[in-house]
Amino acid sequence: MIIVISGASSGFGAMTARALAQAGHTVHAGIRDTAGRNAGAVADAAAFAAEHGVDLRTVELDVADQASVDAAVARVVAESGGLDVVVHNAGHMVLGPTEAFTPEQLASVYDTNVVSTQRLNRAALPHLRAQGHGLVLWVGSTSTRGGAPPYLAPYFAAKAGMDSLAVSYAAELARFGIDTSIVVPGSFTSGTNHFAHAGHAADEAVAAAYEERYGGLMDQVGARLAELAPADADPAEVARAIVRVVDTPAGERPFRVHVDPADDGAEVVNAVGDRVRTEFYRRIGLDDLLHPRALA
């Protein structure tokens, strides 16, 4: 299959691109600023492709820029002759007391984690709808419904927004024969750059006021999350879960898959929410929207 992944310069995105390529797919790893700050990631992907004899390519894709997203999808379709799978992986985490973030910072986090998926969908979905099949796979977070520690609110709120968007899109794409899957990683505190590259609150005075009552809380959150995860927690398992979803036959793919070694409770809550959704759709006579329908 022909796959495009956003945010594939590092972390889950880079791992997933390599795992999918090794599984035999044609993978276009979406990376922004390929000629500048991420030139090393481009070179690493090319070296991996050459070493392993797989079809892993990189494409300039800045999820904050609709023109860049449109150009990336057009290039994927032109080079590979189509598009089968869209993986929404791009995201950005921030750490700090919520009040200390400016409204503009919250909007930026929301843009990266939520609005970016709309840009990519608007570029990619016309191709998937026209062919009557495909998969939109969303990389979510257990923070949307699990135990949510403090000082991560802008990120948590954005991931919750993305999850809600994914759920609504699932129903709206079903009659076009398009699958939806939401892969839900837990808090992997090592092996990814989420915490290392996290942003911080701009209002230092407010942050200092919180530090008086919540001194060291950010470090405590990271340390406690690390303690919850087993020593052998492997973030590459997220990539392997995505490969399994992609390789599952169309129409049989799971709606939601959790990869949460810390077990923060999200799987329990999501099971209830997804069951309520299923029952409600059946009550209002829209149960055909719960699964994609192959087009004649």
How many angstroms separate the CA atoms of 55 and 81, rounded? 14
Are 89 and 185 contacting, i.e. CB atoms less than 8 angstroms apart?
A: no
| Tokens, residue 142 | 């257990």
Please say if 155 is a catalytic residue: yes
Full DSSP string of 86-97: EEE-----EES-
Q: Which of 166, 198, 233, 188 is nearest to 12 (CA)?
A: 188
How many angstroms separate the CA atoms of 93 and 196, rounded? 10
How many angstroms separate the CA atoms of 75 and 54, rounded? 19
Q: Count of CB atoms within 10 A of residue 294's CB?
A: 9
Are 39 and 69 contacting, i.e. CB atoms less than 8 angstroms apart?
A: no
Backbone φ and ψ of 75, nearest 5°? -65, -40
The answer for 162, left when phi > 0, alpha when psi is -120 to 50, beta otherwise, is alpha
Catalytic residue, from 151, 155, 169, 210: name it. 155
Are 216 and 223 contacting, i.e. CB atoms less than 8 angstroms apart?
A: no
DSSP 8-state assignment for residue 249: P
The three-point CA angle 236-241-199 to 5° equals: 55
Are 31 and 4 contacting, i.e. CB atoms less than 8 angstroms apart?
A: no
Show which residues are catalytic: 155
